[in-house]
Amino acid sequence: MKDLAGRTAFVTGGANGVGLGLARTLLAEGCKVAIADIREDAIEEALKLLENQHVIGVKLDVSSREGFAEAAARVERDLGPVSLLFNNAGVNLFQTIDDSSYDDWDWLLGVNLHGVINGIATFVPGMKARGEGGHVCNTASMAAFLGSGVPGIYNTTKFAVRGLSESLRYSLAPHGIGVSMLCPGLVKTHIYASDEIRPDALRAGAKPVNTAFVGQLEQVHQAGMEPEVIAQRTIDAIKDNRFHVFSHPEFRDELAEVFAEILGEFREYPADPGLDRRLAIEVGRRARYKEAREAARVPMRG
């Protein structure tokens, strides 16, 4: 998709960080942009910064299917059909899985995974029906590849977004709709203060906010990559119809090391009964998987 001009883009988590960077970059490409965010004050500040007649703000809790439907109706009425979808909203909780409550799970899954699902279910059917192509970009993270004890639930959601995105890429390619997955590292953003927007209904079992730790995280994130840099690298990837958007090249060697460790876990075993039949089945699956990967690399419409 080489030309984005004139298309309508919907960006969740659009009032700060990567989302705001995407909004700026998309506007510069000639797009009409809707920034969706849960914080009305942040939306107002973002709109002041953008100062463009082709941008609107929409308050949205991405975990709400009803909220998505209402937002879509307004945006498509005011800006036209959405053909560029950026499922970017995300929150984090810096604690281990075994030290987390059900409400901790419901909060992060609701935003980081269900938010992506809701965006796809809301906008993709229309993209397919119109037959004019489009692109979906889901923000995952390097945490979709690099697991750690903390943040456990965040890792879980981002690994899920990774699998969802790859599967979606293959199913949408025949419709001329591309799918990319953005995997940033450290970003200059406010995700360290996620607890500020945690719903009151999902605070059961929540641990008290460690303000000193949050302050440390703020300093760390100030050293993060500028959102506009990430946004431009993302748009470049979309134009080339690339799936993986690795905005932070400093992770390449570490990822190679991790993949090498994974491959190193394979063992040579003596042939088991039924191996030949199983391998014959796998030949067909491998061929179909390769065919899907190749088909998804074809340039999308636009």
Strand 55-59, strand 82-87: pairing: unpaired
58: region left, alpha or beta (phi > 0 left; psi from -120 to 50 alpha): beta
Q: Residue range 50-64: average pLDDT?
A: 94
Question: pLDDT tens-digit profile of 67-117?
Answer: 999 999 999 999 999 999 999 999 999 999 999 999 999 999 999 999 999
Task: Kindly indicate the confidence band of residue 52, based on its pLDDT and cuts at 50, 70 and 90.
Answer: confident
Give me the catalytic one of 102, 154, 192, 269. 154
Q: Is the pLDDT of residue 300 over 90?
A: no
Compute the average pLDDT of residues 149-177: 97
Amino acid 192: pLDDT: 86
Other CB atoms within a 10 A radius of the CB of residue 66 amount to 9
Smallest Cα–Cα separation from 101: which of 202, 205, 199, 207? 205
Residue 274 CA neighbour count, 13 Å, CB half: 3
Q: In what order do the strands lie in the sheet with 8-12?
A: 55-59, 32-37, 8-12, 82-87, 134-139, 177-182, 244-245
Structural domains in the chain, CATH included, are 8-296 (3.40.50.720)
Residue 238: HSE in the Cβ half-sphere, 13 Å Cα cutoff: 30
Mean pLDDT in the chain? 96
d(CA 282, CA 266): 17
Q: Are 137 and 181 in contact (CB under 8 A)?
A: yes
pLDDT at 302: 67
Task: State the maximum Cα–Cα separation within the chain, in Å, rounded to a whole number.
Answer: 68
Is 170 among the catalytic positions?
no
pTM of the model: 0.96
